[in-house]
C-alpha cells in the first residue's frame, strides 16, 4: 500500500570534515536540551524503538569548532557527563551553529540521563543550561529499549552497568509474550 512516508533514518545535518586528533580529550560545555522537528516527528509517530529515534534523539549537536577541538566527525560517538549522569551519544554539526561552548541534545531517554532533576520548588526540572563535559569514546549509542534497561534496570537482575550495557540488544520491535498482537497488526502498512 502506498502511503506518505515520514520516516527519515538520520536528521539532516551540515557536512563537516574534521581532520587530525583534536587538541583536547575533555571539553567543558554548557548543555541545552529541547526538541527539534526530527525528534518530534519520530517520537509522535511512536517509532521510539527504532534506529531513527536513536539518531534523532540520541545526538549531541555541536559547534564545528568544538568538534575540531575534540577531533570528531559527524556521527562519531561522544560521552557526555554531567553531575547527574553520563550517556553515550552520536555527535553532529548543529544546524544552529555557531554556538561555541554549548551543546544541544534533543529531549528523550538519552538526554534524561544527564539533565538535572532539581526543580527549586517550582515543579519544573532544570533541563537547560547544565554544565557538562564531552569526550570522545568508542562505546556504542544504545537503542531506546537497551538504554532504558541500562539506566533503570527494572526488569534485569544484573546490577553492573557494564554487563547490562553489553547484553544482547532488545532490538527495534516490541519484546513481549503473545501472538494475538501479531495476528491483529496490519503489516502491509
Partner 1 sequence: MTYEPPVTDYDHIVENCTCAFCGCNCDDLDYLVKDGHVVAVRHACRLGASKIMEDMDQRLIVPMIRDENGELKEVDWDTALDKAAEYIANSIRPVFYGWSETSTETMKEGVALGEYIGAVLDNQATICHGPSLQAVQNAGYPIQTLGEVQNRADMIAYSGSNAMNSHPRHMARYAVFCRGYFRQRGRFDRTVVTMDPKFSDTAKCSDKWIGFEQNGDYGFYNAIRAVLRGKELYQDVISGIPKEDIYELAEEMKNAEFGVLFFGLGLTHTLSKQRNIDIAIKMVQDLNKYSKWGLTPMRGHFNVNGFNIFMAFECGFAFGVDYCRGYPRYMMGETNTIDLLVRKEPDCFMVIAADPGAHFPNGANQHLADIPVIQIDIHWGPSTELADVVLPGSFIGVECAGTSYRMDGVPIFMKKAIDKPETCRDDEWIVRELKERVMKLREEPNTAPKYVPNPNAL
Interface of this chain with partner 1, residues 110 to 169, rule: CB under 8 A: 112-117, 119-129, 144-145, 148-149, 151-156
Q: Does 20 bind partner 1 (CB under 8 A)?
A: no
Q: Measured from the CB atom, is 71 or 127 closer to partner 1?
A: 127
How would you classify the pairing of strands 59-62 and 77-82?
A: unpaired
Q: Is the peptide bond before 98 cis (omega within 30 degrees of 0)?
A: yes
Q: Considering only 16-24, 65-73, 95-103, 159-167, which stretch makes contact with partner 1 by CB under 8 A?
A: 95-103
Q: How far is CA 185 from CA 68, 178, 181, 182, 189, in A?
A: 47, 13, 6, 5, 9
Q: Measured from the CB atom, is 71 or 133 closer to partner 1?
A: 133
State the chain's maximal CA–CA distance in angstroms. 56
CB of 20 to partner 1, least distance (A): 27
Q: Considering only 68-76, 107-115, 132-140, 160-168, which stretch makes contact with partner 1 by CB under 8 A?
A: 107-115
CB of 39 to partner 1, least distance (A): 9
Quote the cell numbers at residue 68: 575540531
CB of 41 to partner 1, least distance (A): 4
Quote the cell numbers at residue 165: 550495557
CB of 148 to partner 1, least distance (A): 4
Say if residues 10 and 80 touch (Cβ distance below 8 Å): no
Q: Which of 28, 65, 95, 139: binder of partner 1 (CB under 8 A)?
A: 95
How would you classify the pairing of strands 102-106 and 59-62?
A: antiparallel
- Count CB neighbours of 187 within 10 A: 5
Q: Measured from the CB atom, is 68 or 151 closer to partner 1?
A: 151
Quote the cell numbers at residue 172: 527495534
Amino acid at each position: 500500500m502506498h502511503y506518505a512516508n515520514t520516516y527519515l533514518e538520520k536528521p539532516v545535518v551540515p557536512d563537516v570534515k574534521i581532520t587530525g586528533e583534536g587538541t583536547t580529550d575533555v571539553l567543558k560545555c554548557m548543555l541545552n536540551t529541547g526538541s527539534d522537528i526530527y525528534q518530534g516527528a519520530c517520537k509522535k509517530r511512536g517509532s521510539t524503538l527504532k534506529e531513527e529515534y536513536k539518531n534523532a534523539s540520541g545526538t549531541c549537536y555541536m559547534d564545528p569548532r568544538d568538534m575540531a577541538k575534540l577531533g570528531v566527525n559527524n556521527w562519531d560517538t561522544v560521552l557526555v557527563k554531567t553531575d547527574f549522569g553520563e550517556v553515550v551519544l552520536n555527535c553532529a554539526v548543529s544546524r544552529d551553529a555557531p554556538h561555541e561552548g554549548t551543546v544541544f541534545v534533543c529531549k528523550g531517554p538519552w538526554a534524561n540521563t544527564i539533565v538535572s532533576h532539581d526543580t527549586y520548588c517550582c515543579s519544573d526540572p532544570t533541563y537547560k543550561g547544565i554544565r557538562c563535559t564531552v569526550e570522545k569514546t568508542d562505546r556504542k549509542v544504545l537503542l531506546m529499549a537497551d538504554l532504558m534497561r541500562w539506566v533503570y534496570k527494572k526488569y534485569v537482575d544484573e546490577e553492573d552497568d557494564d554487563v547490562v550495557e553489553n547484553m544482547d540488544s532488545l532490538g527495534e520491535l516490541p519484546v513481549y509474550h503473545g501472538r494475538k498482537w501479531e495476528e491483529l497488526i496490519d503489516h502491509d502498512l
